[in-house]
Amino acid sequence: DQYSKTEFGNTVSSVLFYFLSYWRLFWRPIIMGKVKCSELRGKKKEELLKQLEDLKQELAALRVAKVTGGAANKLSKIRTVRKSIARVYIVIHQTQKENLRKFYTGKKLKPLDLRYKKTRAIRKGLTKHELSLRTRKEMRRMKRWPSRKFAVQA
């Protein structure tokens, strides 16, 4: 029958079968409450705190819906709201730390969490300046008996 065929010669039912068997590979649920860190970075701290408060209220409402036996889509939204709250916190803390880094650049002392980590041995070791220092006695000895330079005749 000519009506069940497509342009490529496959039957409509086989195309439908392929679509239904592979739709799971490409289908992603559409989530409305998701927040991106890149969007949050442009906002000010007051806006971030307001958004955080809204997200927390939404989470509380979703948890109430969970206890009272709400819809399945509300239960699945709990995870995304929790992750969004975490993202807001991440951006707040990152901006705070960035501002602290700017404030302490060029200062003699820094807070422990802003210092470089490396290893304990390296941190406890002497600085380059301390390593280069010499005692008075050592300086006199170096002056009196400098290292001799000889030219070897070939």
pLDDT tens digits for range 127-146: 999 999 999 999 999 999 99
Is 135 within the bounds of a domain?
yes
**Mean of the per-residue pLDDT values of the chain:** 85
Domain count for the chain: 1
Is 153 within the bounds of a domain?
no
Is 8 within the bounds of a domain?
yes
More confident residue, 13 or 76: 76
Is 70 within the bounds of a domain?
yes
Residue 95 class from Cβ within 10 Å (0-12 exposed, 13-18 middle, 19+ buried)? Answer: middle
Is 33 within the bounds of a domain?
yes
Token couple for 140: 């006199």
Is 46 within the bounds of a domain?
yes
Q: How far apart (Å, rounded) are the C-alpha atoms in residues 44 and 47?
A: 5
Is 149 within the bounds of a domain?
no
Residue 58's domain is classified under what CATH number? 1.10.287.310
pLDDT for residue 37:
93
Tell me the residue range of the domain where 129 lies: 2-139
Is 145 within the bounds of a domain?
no
pLDDT tens digits for range 56-111: 999 999 999 999 987 888 889 999 999 999 999 999 999 999 999 999 999 999 99
| High-pLDDT (> 70) share of the chain, % | 79
**Residue 81 in contact with residue 62, Cβ under 8 Å?**
yes
